[in-house]
Structure 1
Amino acid sequence: MSIDYQLVHQQLKQVIGEDAVTDDPVRRFAWSTDGSYFRIVPELVVTANSLEQVKQTLAVARNHQVPITFRAAGTSLSGQAVGEGILLRLGYDGFRNIDISDDHQHVTLGSAVIGADANAKLKPLDKKIGPDPATLASCMVGGIVNNNASGMCCGTTENSYKTIDSAKLLFADGTFLNTGCEESKQAFKQARPELLQTIAELTAKTQANVELSKRIKQKFEIKNTTGYSLNALIDYNDPFDVLNHLVVGSEGTFAFVEEVTYRTVEEARYKASAMAVFYNMVDAANAIPPLKIPAVAAAELLDWASIKAITGKKGMPNWLDQLPEGAAILLIECRANDDDTLAKYTKQASQAIAHIKTERPIEFSTDPSVYGKYWAMRSGLFPIIGGERPAGSSVIIEDVAFRVEDLAAGAADLTELFHKHGYPEGVIYGHAKDGNFHFIITPHFRSQADIDQFERFMADVATLVIDKYDGSMKAEHGTGRAVAPFVEMEWGVQAYELMKELKAAFDPTNLLNPGVVINDDKDIHIKDIKQAAVVDGWVDRCIECGFCEKTCPTSALNMSPRQRITTLREIARLEDSGAAAEAAELRQAAQYDVIDTCVACQLCVISCPVDNNMGMLVRKLRGPQIDSTAQKVLDFQANNFGAVNQVLSTGFDVLHGVHKITGSTVTKKLMDIGRKISSEVPYWDPSFPRGGNLPKPSTPTTGQPTVVYFAACGGRTFGPTPEDPDSTTLPDVMTTLLERAGFNVVIPNKTRQLCCGQMWESKGDYKNADMKRDELIDALAQMTNNGEYPVIIDALSCTKRTLQDSDIDFTMLDAVEFIHDQVMPKLPAKKRKSSVALHIGCTATHMNAGGMMEAIVRAYCDEIVKPEGIICCGFAGEKGLYKPEINESALRHLKTKLPSEIDEGYYANRMCEMGLTRHSGISYRHLAYLVEECTR
């Protein structure tokens, strides 16, 4: 039966809202990938922020028999978060509740809660959730549960299966169940008696089958996420307990997980790590069984190929190149809640492997600065390999599990397969204590021959892992499309038939994520493979993992860097294949999402494991889009910036006066008319500031040190907003503060004309941007008395722009640093504030200024409030004036995250402060205001 997706789209818009569903080709393609090597373009993308939206979407899907795939953060590595039909992804506003029980023994989490955010709430209580996947800073609880994700320490004892208490579930037929609520369970008995009956029958049948029960128990003695959690059928008897645990690891094929309650586990306060360097892999593997003791929390292995890959790289130990060929490393960690226990644990760990000769002495360190370097080796492996792979190649991270006694032989066999199938770059690392190996290869998928090569490799891996060692093809990454063809091979006919019966019982019409886990197509793992076309050096390293989505200010508006890169790769692929017209059409359609709305904050670099920089690429791509008319305007602005800056400042004073007389309605209409004439006219907002002014130089005082103060264009253009408590401008406050601290203040000549060039760089006009920066540096240098006087700039982004790629032979400091180092010691607080908000924005993050900013606030305030999740304001210089939707989306939660008693906030960039003020309802100003007021 063919599906009328246009009709489906219309019905979904009617029931869940027009903004919650899209059939836009650009956005559909943008959501066609997860962290795996698959690409499947859905017909529709639904963004759900409430259970009601999920219910309505399922109802429409049932009515039209449309397949539906649930997606959390999309960090999945096996292709289980992409699918045809409807892709229902968790939005950025719903399913984010975190509720901790009074005794701290349980935590209830919405499915869109990021794992690290849950742990941040639990940490002060010395608790955490059990699962600890490497993607914890990005992945969501819905994905953690559905993949039974684990990691370095949780092993097979503290994963979701072992620590889940209850869950709220929505099934394909629309029925709902809270497995932790007796009333809900009774209602479910009435609504779905056949499902409970089937579960009870399959439980009894499985337990009665001694051979099968033994097989299931054996399979879960090591890490295993291949197929369904059949251990639920032998571990539990009550159908609700069985169902509760069957859902774990079901990869969205059984039900939608709205919420889960975990039993929390202890978070040890003290840690110690040691690096055990063995002469060969056999010795390292032989050290694992003795280390499987309570004293050891983790034992991570790096094979010789891994060691070679990181040798000589930044941050890696300089003695790696001295190791003998074939060496292997175990990183061992012990954890405890007191020093004495930790010392006992480290002694036990050392003694456990004392009989095995090591290349270096095993010494445990409790110093984070020391053991942090050890773990930098482990965490650095993936970005190093991913970042250095050939452009256009993919990164595939597979994870298999062996019994610990088979580790050495298994590693040797895997290495042999790398070379046999043309993947000499292959490395092996992973959670050796649990017999879990990850391996990385970087294949090309440019031709059918490349795909055939990969198919042969995976077939040999399956034969090795399953037939030779009876291990797990998937230890912790979930089955997905990558391993679906091998589930029956690994489990056997009986167990596989049992899995098929379970799928049919939960989802009789096969609507939920069809083809994942259960799939009769033995070639599914080599179909729908995505191409990694070469785009640009700024982003070609991207592995489409999705780590960037948490920090990107436009993720909720339209796209994150991952989606932008995905789209650009498709444009490049079309161009490479000769489909120039299609490429041009896609490029034009993607202009708003990919280019226009990227704020170029570069926070993606911070969260990216392979150092992609979408912000710099977007600026580069904007350059060729500047036509001759626009270039003339930019040139005029650059060459006449003094006049332009004065007009802007005066214009905002005039606008303020017009608004005062006519009110918001008339002012908005006037602005709308003006914007039709020129795109340089901003959208009206009642929180617009007055105009600013230039700072006034000091009257010199003999014997006092002198500073050069440059007022950046934001502060001298935009003065106070209606929400600000007084009409003092930033240049006046800075001058007053510097004079009070005992400095003579000199002002650069022609300050109005000077600029760091940021406003031109953001448009891709590097010619004018660099010209303005050079002009500024020259003007400042002339004021420093041959480098004697330091230069202070009062906007973090301007300081960063001026300093980067510049050869400056005088001292230039941001106002934050100068206030922290030179002003605070001279001006103790004469009054203190009880509580204020502090924003640590994207530039502050890049410049590592957050610590200094907090120190400044602490000196004059009793409490600092830093709203969670507010990293970049999305104002992006002047972009907030012309594309206010970005700022609005980025700060949509700011007001609700501020306590009612807070009435003022601080940062160190005037444009950002305007955006923060607009969406917080309180005054945000430069930190200089706080220091000046409290030392007055």
Structure 2
Amino acid sequence: MASVVGANAERPLDVGALAAELAERVDGEVRFDTGTRAAYSTDASNFRQVPLGVVLPRTPEAAVEAVAVAAEFGAPLLSRGGGTSLAGQCTNTAVVLDWSKYCTSVESIDAERRRCVVQPGIVLDELNRQLAPTSLRFGPEPATHANCTLGGMIGNNSCGATAQRTGKVVDNIAALEVLLYDGTRMWVGPTDDDRFTAMQRDGGRVAEVYRQLRALRDRYTGEIRRRFPNIPRRVSGYNLDSLLPEHGFDVAGLLVGSESTLVTVLRAELELVPVVAAKCLVVLGFPSISAAGDAVPAILRHDPIALEGLDSKLIHDEQLKHLNPQALTALPRGSAFLMVQFGGDTTEEADARAWRMLHALGVSPHDAAVSFFDEPDRQAELWHVREAGLGATAHVPDRPDTFEGWEDSAVPPDRLGDYLRRLWRLYEEFGYAGDTGPSLYGHFGQGCVHTRIPFDLYTARGVADYRRFLEKAADLVVEFGGSLSGEHGDGQTRGELLPRMFGTELITAFGQLKAIFDPDGRMNPGKVIAPYPLDAHLRLGGDWAPMAAQDVHFRYPHDGGSFAQAANRCVGVGKCRQHTNSGGAVMCPSYQVTHEEEHSTRGRARLLFEMLNGHGDGPVRDGWRSAAVKDALDLCLACKGCKTDCPANVDMATYKAEFLAHHYRGRPWRRPRSDWSMGWLPVFANLVTRLRLTPVVNAITHSPGLRRLAVAVAGIADREIPLLASETLRAWYSRRGPRGDGRRGTVLLWPDTFTNHFHPHVGIAAVKLMEDAGWRVTMPGQSLCCGLTWISTGQLPTAKRVLRRTVRALAPHLRDGGLIVGLEPSCTAVFRSDAFELFPDDQDVRRLRKQTVTLAELLTAHTPGYQPPHVAVDALAQVHCHQHAVLGWQADQRLLTSAGARVERLESGCCGLAGNFGFEAGHLDVSRDCAERVLLPRLRAADTDTAVLADGFSCRTQIHQLDSGGHEAVHLAELLARPLRADRGGGAVAQPGKSRLARAAIAAGLAALGIAAVARAARR
């Protein structure tokens, strides 16, 4: 029995019975478990409220039934889209309806009328992808377009940069199918007098709602016209102005932006706009952001289709976080910038409009303060700079944390410059300004300003200052005739402040509107109207006291050594929920195949945050031992994609390893067998080599009956086990020795476990290639390991011992300034990233980090004038996740281009094998589904003579095992070494002959008898 109060205030809500009834009656997934509730406990705001449970309806009709059950119990209800809201409207102690997994259909498209009907869970980019053949699109496009849902956009009245041309969501809705809490279901939209009269004649609840709305409008018409600011970005408050005669008594418009406080949206009929055929972009530099604001009115006279502003602080933040490096070099001179986009039917037409604007402003495209672009790719690069704003300004290195709160104000565009000056003075008054003060950016053409402010939300005094600042900022924007919110909505952040903007009379009207649709106050209570205080339910707050994470293994150098701060990195922007890997992004492969919040980077970060239980009332009460957190992390592929792709640089692979180390601490017997069989793979492979049992092991793992037994004993998935090489790379090198003139110097080739024991041919090719380039190649004289397999399985004490030993062995070479060349991206990434994060104060580890290079980096940055062998082939490149996240692929791309190869980098993200992940029991389906998203279909469509590049052993193994087209992936070294003349003295790695295979078969039989005997003894 929960303490939540139902509709009947005299009896508490029976959450258990509610969950059971929902599960019985709703066609969908009903989840009241600890992990789900923790994952949905917050959105992208400062607030946190743990939901009662979550329902993922399979159809809008299933959602109707879920609302009916909630109403029978009097349970609060919250309808949620992508969960990226910044004002707290998507977090509540309620039954959460999440539409984003199943209700994602475009139900109809009428291109002639420029309309379509959609379900609320469809993502904006996916909708526009499906609309592409019609040359139409939905106009508003927020920066989160890759993961925001249409239902969420309707709830927030979203806008984005394109609103300069197309307006807000409210301007692009033809009709909505909505459901009231009491079960009333209706389509709403503009309503003329004849339709209104017909409704009243029919009677019933729908007629009653419309009659009350007409009366409300008539009562407050004068106040609406007087108090609603006439600006393009008024998003605060309910859209009572949509009921005015000049707007056609548009009930759909009224409900847009109501943040799930009035109705549940089941379907939406959208108005579409033509795709702009051609665009150009002009970037103008200014001495200050306020000067950029002053220039807005003159630019607006030329009707740009987008007009965005950003200051140099945002640029500096992106530089510190290594975001959009190529695009940043294209900016003109200035300390602030306006990005002005024009459109037309042709590039020439768009360019002409831009030229006319420049002429009117008295500047030339050749001026130092002007950059001009009409190539689509270059324009896209520049827009990434602007769209990265929220993530770029969160968790900036060596800066205080920043938060939402006043990230969304809007004023008349012709007063923007003065508003920016006054706003900065307010920052100074509260100590938020200075060199590390907030950056200012936003939709300047509509007077909307975005920013994140370094509020102190960790102390009582800081929270009090936060409140005082918001109150003063609200008064400031009202003084300018503006809106508290210009895009992100009111929710809880601004709900309490609405009386300052609208006055007592309109706030009364808002309350009466709420009562018409939701008289019992069950729809998203405490948001917009009758709101919780703006400093209540804070995710942090002066009383936040998280569990102390003692004896952490990773040192979290970017988070002050605090695991709590690391777990708190997620700002909820939801980029991990994207459905495509555009631009080579990787994050988040498990979400892309499951569409589960709990299996997104954001969902896992929320669980880790709840695990620390900083408020004492969280759903996760068992700390490091939490089964809920372990389950959420189970499908994390440890791909490290989030380390780079996440705007806040959440590093879930590291957090997972840390969690597993503590979860199994003191109880190693609870570890799955796969942790032992794959975590200790380097030791096992070395032992097999020393005992000369390679043929035996290969025979066992590739004999049908024995293979199944070996798989069962190892506790891994039923898939092909890679063959061990008959001769290791180190053995080959020892037999062959170093060669070449060494005119470039000496490098040490790192013989990682996978190259050394499984694919030595890759190492051999690399040695020959480096020698051909003039390098003398050496290898360690002893068996060493980077510790990767122990890190990925969370056996961190062992990993640290292994890594320390390796660093000691490599120290002389490193101290002499020698380079180390890594061939396996995951092992190379340990040297470049994990080792430093485990031992940030060790000088040899710091040297290791700086002096470890990839093969491509050696042959480009460290081998001036080098021309690789000519390989004029068509190739597809599957870039390893760790290479993408830590090492980068730019050097590879340059080297391949120089070699004459025509290479397409696949936008496939993770291959799905991800080291040990795809071999672990229970992961096979997810592993295959990851590969089937892009990688395998693209390989099946490729010609048989197309080369497939994959530097990662995992990627090559996945392709070998799953590609039905028979492609075998090769390492960069293999591809480039193909034209080189065979090394007469080197020889190839010997393969087992028939006699050796026969001996191996006999040995395998004996081994099988031994294994069977052990199994019988265990059963006894």
Q: Same fold (TM over 0.5)?
A: yes
CA distance in 2, matches of 1:126, 1:705: 61
Superposition pairs of residues 77-116 of structure 1, within 5 angstroms: 77-92=86-101, 94-95=103-104, 105-106=114-115, 109-116=118-125
Q: Secondary structure at the match of 2:476?
A: helix
Counterpart code for 2:588: C
SS in 1 for 2:96: strand
**What is the deviation of 1:465?**
2.2
The whole-number CA distance in structure 1 between the counterparts of 2:488 and 2:459 is 27
Q: Post-superposition shift, 1:78?
A: 0.6
Which residue is equivalent to 1:871?
Answer: 909
Query: Secondary structure at the residue paired with 1:616?
Result: helix
Deviations 1:115-156 (A, max 9, x none): 344455667876543112222233222212221111223137
Q: Which residue of 2 aligns with 1:142?
A: 151
Aligned pairs for 1:419-818 within 5 A: 419-424=428-433, 425-466=437-478, 468-493=479-504, 495-519=506-530, 521=531, 523-531=532-540, 535=563, 538=566, 541-550=569-578, 551-555=587-591, 556=594, 558-572=598-612, 574=614, 585=623, 588-593=626-631, 597-623=635-661, 641-643=685-687, 651=697, 653-659=699-705, 667=708, 672=712, 674=713, 681-686=714-719, 693-694=726-727, 713-714=753-754, 755-762=785-792, 763=794, 764=796, 765-770=798-803, 793=823, 795-801=824-830, 806=848, 812-813=854-855
Cα distance in 1 for residues equivalent to 2:720 and 2:113: 43
The verdict on how the C-alpha distance between 1:841 and 1:188 changes in structure 2, with shifts beyond 3 A counting, is farther
State the partner residue of 1:3.
13
Retained in 2: the 8 A contact 1:649–1:717? no
2:954 corresponding residue in structure 1:
911
CA contact (8 A) 1:635 1:768 kept: no
* Shift in alpha-carbon separation, 1:67–1:301, aligned structure 2, 3 A: same
Residue 83 of structure 2 contacts residue 572 of structure 2 at CA under 8 Å; is this kept in 1?
Answer: no
Contact 2:106 2:117 in 1 (8 A): yes
CA contact (8 A) 1:224 1:472 kept: yes
Task: Measure how far apart 1:208 and its partner are.
Answer: 9.1
By how many angstroms is 1:592 displaced? 0.6
Change (3 A) 1:145 1:856: farther
Among 882, 904, 909, the residue aligned to 1:843? 882
Q: 1:46 aligns with which of 41, 50, 55?
A: 55
Distance 1:753 1:318, change over 3 A: closer
Q: How far off is 1:38 after superposition? A: 0.7
Between the aligned partners of 1:732 and 1:303, the Cα distance in structure 2 is: 51
Gaps of 5+ in 1: 662-666, 675-680, 719-729
- What letter corresponds to residue 575 of structure 2 in structure 1? F
Which of 291, 296, 308 does residue 300 from structure 1 map onto?
Answer: 308
Match of 1:35 among 44, 59, 65: 44
Q: For residue 826 of structure 2, what is the amino acid of its counterpart?
A: S
Distance 1:475 1:827, change over 3 A: closer
Q: How far apart, CA to CA, are the structure 2 residues paired with 1:741 and 1:320? A: 38
- Aligned mates of 2:575, 2:363 — CA distance in 1: 42
| Secondary structure at the counterpart of residue 50 of structure 2 | coil
C-alpha separation between the residues in 2 aligned to 1:772 and 1:650?
30
Matched, 1:926 2:969: yes
**Counterpart contact for 2:576–2:600, Cα < 8 Å:** yes
Q: Shift in Å at residue 589 of structure 1?
A: 4.2
**The 10-residue stretch of structure 1 (268-277 or 916-925) with the greater mean CA deviation from structure 2:** 916-925
Deviates more, 1:742-751 or 1:606-615: 742-751
- Work out whether 1:229 is the aligned partner of 2:267: no
Quick check: 1:642–1:754 contact (8 Å CA) kept in 2? Answer: no
- Aligned to 1:884, what secondary structure does the other structure show? coil
Deviation at 1:10, TM superposition (A): 2.0
Q: Which moved more, 1:301-310 or 1:3-12?
A: 301-310
Deviation, 1:567, is: 3.7
2:256 to 248, 258, 261: 248
Whole-angstrom distance in 1 between the partners of 2:312 and 2:891: 39
Q: Percent of pairs identical after alignment?
A: 20
More displaced stretch, 141-150 vs 741-750: 741-750
Aligned to 2:286: 277
Q: Equivalent of 2:357, from 344, 349, 354?
A: 349
In the other structure, the counterpart of 2:582 is none
Q: 1:261 deviation in Å? A: 3.5
Contact 2:174 2:269 in 1 (8 A): yes
Q: What's the CA shift for 1:756?
A: 4.6
CA contact (8 A) 2:409 2:449 kept: yes
Whole-Å separation in 2 of the counterparts to 1:562 and 1:865: 27
Q: Who is 2:73 aligned against?
A: 64
Q: Counterparts of 2:423 and 2:40 in 1: how far apart (Å)? A: 33
484-493 or 645-654, which moves further after superposition?
645-654
Aligned-pair distance for 1:51? 3.2
The SS at the match of 1:524 is coil
1:291 positional shift: 1.5
Aligned mates of 2:524, 2:239 — CA distance in 1: 17
* Equivalent-residue separation in structure 1 for 2:930 and 2:770 (angstroms): 38
- For the Cα contact (< 8 Å) 1:104–1:125, is it kept in 2? no
* Residues 1:375 and 1:508: Cα distance change in structure 2 (over 3 Å): same
**Equivalent residue, structure 2, for 1:195:** 206
- Counterparts of 2:216 and 2:456, CA distance in 1: 46
2:419 corresponds to 1:410 = yes
Q: Secondary structure at the match of 2:71?
A: helix
Task: Pick the aligned partner of 1:291 from 287, 295, 299.
Answer: 299
TM-score by length of 2: 0.71
TM-score (normalised: structure 1): 0.76
Alpha-carbon separation, structure 1, partners of 2:299 and 2:446: 10
Code of the residue aligned with 1:516 in structure 2: it is K
Confirm or deny that 1:888 pairs with 2:925: yes
- Note if contact 1:559-1:593 (Cα within 8 Å) is conserved in structure 2: no
Distance 1:420 1:600, change over 3 A: same
Q: Distance in 1 between matches of 2:55 and 2:264?
A: 17
Q: Which amino acid aligns with 2:705?
A: H
Q: Report Cα offsets for 1:257-315 as digits up to 9, x if no partner.
A: 4455340343353322222314683x544322221134433333456987897899976
Contact 1:72 1:89 in 2 (8 A): yes
Q: Secondary structure at the match of 1:256?
A: strand
Distance 1:811 1:415, change over 3 A: closer
Letter aligned with residue 48 of structure 2: R
**d(CA) in 1 for partners of 2:763 and 2:114?**
51
SS at match of 1:926: coil
What is the Cα deviation at residue 37 of structure 1? 0.6
Shift of the alpha carbon at 1:72? 1.7
Instruction: Give me the whole-angstrom Cα distance separating, in 2, the residues matched to 1:132 and 1:443.
Output: 29
> How far is the alpha carbon of 1:43 from its aligned partner?
1.7
Q: How far off is 1:604 after superposition?
A: 1.4
Correspondence for 1:727: none
| Aligned-residue CA RMSD (Å) | 5.6
> 1:875, 1:121 → 2: CA distance?
30
Report the AA paired with residue 209 of structure 2.
T
